[in-house]
């Protein structure tokens, strides 16, 4: 099966995860892709293929004769898509020999334009795959799934020499649970790579430190005609909470290593209001300072309006993996050499987001991230190219080759 057909097959399986659920997987539909991938891995000849009760899909290739002494490499991609924009009934648009210009996204009224996405002209001549404007595409991270599967099929079909290879496709990465239940003993890798978005020449081993912040605000509702000095409008208090956060430290005003507070959802009335944030900072000290700011706001609001008015729930999601990965430079050096073999110059960029590799690195498995050539993730403008996914598969193969040196 070629890369394009694999990718299209995967994105048509609805696998959106869900927020605020503690079970894994958060949605039963993720099992649909787990089962499909296990079937495909068995059919291509991978061994010890296993789909567990949490929707993790494992597959292995034993070392070829003479390569048994090489370290086992793991490759990981996640099979879920974001919970807050539809991943159901994905209808990809396939544009062969793309001209680098505007692309109308179905009948949605949305248009993919170079003005908003300046990299588009660089994709001229490639086979572009977009959404129809009503869903995500699912390139995050089914492009990574397709690349890993294609690489494994090539290894088997060409009988290429290699050390032991471990593959795992994980659920719930988009909600921060993806690596939590990966069975490292079963996986058995000395080091691993997530293949999860970004430019093909990028190696990511610096992530945000990340937390979620949930606010519950309780008001006091009384007839507005007799409300003086009595009413506490929960929605207005929620607005006040947001106003106490620095306006310059929002995602739309930050870049590079700059952290942020991001309001992702709000609801409310006079009686009750809720706010949801994600909190991000590459620097550990800055991350702790952001959480202290939120706790200070909680204290201030409760002193101003009365105890119990505001309740803040903070939950750490993942930590910056740079410290753990940099203790194992070889995992980065292999990737650098693999990217150069593709004719590209490797670039180390901080991830302004998260990856399963962050949790795994802290669990003892060094795990930087590799690019897939996917763009504009988490929305209707998401797109990828067949050539980009093929390039990601080749980088995986190149890493496996370099591991024999």
Q: Cβ contacts of residue 223 below 8 Å, gap of 6+?
A: none
CA 306 – CA 117 distance, rounded (Å):
48
Would you state the pLDDT for residue 248?
A: 97
**Cα angle 139-140-141, degrees, rounded to a multiple of 5:** 90
Q: SS3 for 106? A: coil
The answer on 156 and 86 residing in a single domain is yes
User: Do residue 95 and residue 111 come from a single domain?
Assistant: yes
Nearest to 137 by CA among 405, 388, 398, 324: 388
- What is the span of the domain harbouring residue 272? 209-318
Do 261 and 338 belong together in one domain? no
Are 99 and 178 in the same domain?
yes
Please answer whether residues 213 and 276 qualify as being in contact, where contact means their C-beta atoms are separated by less than 8 angstroms: yes
Quote the distance between the C-alpha of residue 259 and its chain's center.
18
pLDDT at 82: 94
Decide: 362 and 301 in contact? Cβ < 8 Å: no
Same domain for 107 and 249? no
Q: Are residues 311 and 374 in the same domain?
A: no
Q: What does the alpha-carbon distance between residue 348 and residue 106 come to, in Å, rounded to a whole number?
A: 36
Which tokens in the block code for residue 395?
Answer: 């980088």
Rg for the chain, CA atoms, rounded: 23
Give pLDDT tens digits for 190-203.
999 999 978 999 99
Q: In angstroms, rounded to a whole number, what is the distance separating the alpha carbons of residues 56 and 35?
A: 10
Cis peptide before 141 (omega within 30 of 0): yes
User: Of the residues 268, 297, 318, which one is the last residue of a structural domain?
Assistant: 318
Please report, for the domain that includes residue 74, its CATH number: 3.40.630.10
* Same domain assignment for residues 278 and 398: no
Instruction: Give the catalytic positions in this structure.
Output: 80, 173
- Give the pLDDT of residue 305: 97
Whether residues 187 and 243 share a domain: the answer is: no
In what side-by-side order are the strands of the sheet with 383-385? 93-95, 128-130, 383-385
Looking at residue 71, what is its pLDDT?
97
Query: Is 376 found in the same domain as 331?
Result: yes
* First CA to last CA distance, the chain: 30
Read off the DSSP letter of residue 283.
S
3-state secondary structure of 352: coil
Task: Give yes or no: residues 189 and 233 share one domain.
Answer: no
- The pLDDT of residue 207: 86
153 and 30 within one domain: yes
Burial of 104 (0-12, 13-18, 19+ CB in 10 A): middle
Q: How many domains does the chain divide into?
A: 2
Asked which of 260, 289, 318 is the last residue of a domain, the reply is: 318
Count the neighbouring beta carbons within 10 Å of the beta carbon of residue 251.
16
Compute the mean pLDDT over every residue in the chain, rounded to the nearest whole number. Answer: 95
Spatial contact of 287 and 281, defined as CB atoms under 8 Å apart? yes
Q: Per-residue pLDDT for the chain (405 aa), expressed as one digit of tens each?
A: 899 999 999 999 999 999 878 899 999 999 999 999 999 999 999 999 999 999 999 999 999 999 999 999 999 999 999 998 889 999 999 999 999 999 999 999 999 999 999 999 999 999 999 999 999 999 999 999 999 999 999 999 999 999 999 999 999 999 888 888 999 999 999 999 999 978 999 999 988 988 999 999 999 999 999 999 999 999 999 999 999 999 999 999 999 899 999 999 999 999 999 999 999 999 999 999 999 999 999 999 999 999 999 999 999 988 888 888 888 999 999 999 999 999 999 998 888 876 788 889 989 999 999 999 899 999 999 999 999 999 999 999 999 999 998
Domain of residue 250, CATH code: 3.30.70.360
pTM above 0.85, yes or no: no
Q: 20 — alpha (psi -120 to 50), left (phi > 0) or beta?
A: left
Which of 318, 341, 357 marks a domain boundary? 318
Which pLDDT belongs to residue 333?
96
**H-only helix segments in 158-276:** 184-187, 234-243
| Cα(63)–Cα(73) distance, integer angstroms | 11
pLDDT reported for residue 150: 98
Do residues 32 and 115 share a domain? Answer: yes
């Amino acid at each position: 099966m070629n890369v394009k057909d694999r990718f299209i097959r995967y994105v048509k399986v609805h696998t959106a995860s869900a927020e605020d659920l503690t079970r894994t997987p958060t949605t039963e539909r993720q099992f649909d892709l787990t089962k499909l991938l296990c079937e495909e891995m068995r059919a291509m000849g991978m061994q010890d293929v296993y789909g567990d009760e949490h929707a993790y899909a494992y597959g292995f290739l034993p070392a070829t004769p003479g390569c048994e002494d090489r370290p086992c490499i793991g490759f990981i991609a996640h099979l879920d898509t974001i919970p807050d924009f539809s991943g159901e009934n994905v209808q990809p648009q396939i544009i062969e020999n793309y001209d680098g210009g505007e692309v109308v996204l179905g009948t949605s009224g949305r248009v993919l334009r170079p003005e908003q996405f300046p990299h588009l002209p660089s994709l001229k001549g490639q086979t572009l795959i977009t959404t129809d404007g009503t869903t995500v595409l699912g390139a995050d991270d089914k492009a990574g799934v397709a690349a890993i599967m294609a690489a494994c099929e090539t290894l088997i079909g060409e009988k290429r020499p290699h050390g032991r290879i471990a593959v795992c496709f994980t659920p719930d990465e988009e909600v921060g649970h993806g690596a939590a239940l990966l069975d490292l003993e079963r996986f058995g890798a000395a080091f691993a790579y997530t293949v999860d978005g970004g430019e093909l020449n990028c190696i990511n081993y610096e992530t945000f430190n990340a937390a979620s912040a949930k606010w519950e605000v309780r008001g006091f509702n009384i007839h507005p005609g007799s409300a003086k000095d009595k009413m506490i409008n929960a929605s207005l208090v929620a607005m006040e909470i947001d106003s106490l956060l620095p306006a310059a430290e929002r995602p739309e005003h930050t870049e590079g290593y700059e952290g942020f507070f991001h309001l992702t959802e709000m609801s409310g009335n006079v009686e009750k209001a809720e706010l949801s944030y994600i909190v991000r900072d590459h620097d550990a000290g800055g991350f702790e300072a952001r959480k202290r700011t939120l706790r200070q706001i909680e204290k201030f609001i409760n002193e101003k309006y009365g105890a119990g008015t505001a309740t803040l729930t903070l939950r750490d999601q993942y930590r910056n993996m740079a410290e753990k990965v940099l203790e194992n430079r070889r995992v980065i050096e292999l990737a650098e050499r693999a990217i150069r073999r593709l004719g590209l110059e490797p670039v180390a960029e901080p991830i302004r987001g998260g990856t399963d590799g962050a949790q795994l690195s802290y669990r003892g498995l060094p795990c930087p991230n590799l690019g897939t050539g996917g763009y504009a993730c988490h929305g209707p403008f998401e797109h990828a190219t067949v050539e980009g996914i093929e390039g990601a598969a080749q980088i995986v193969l190149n890493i496996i080759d370099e591991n024999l040196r």
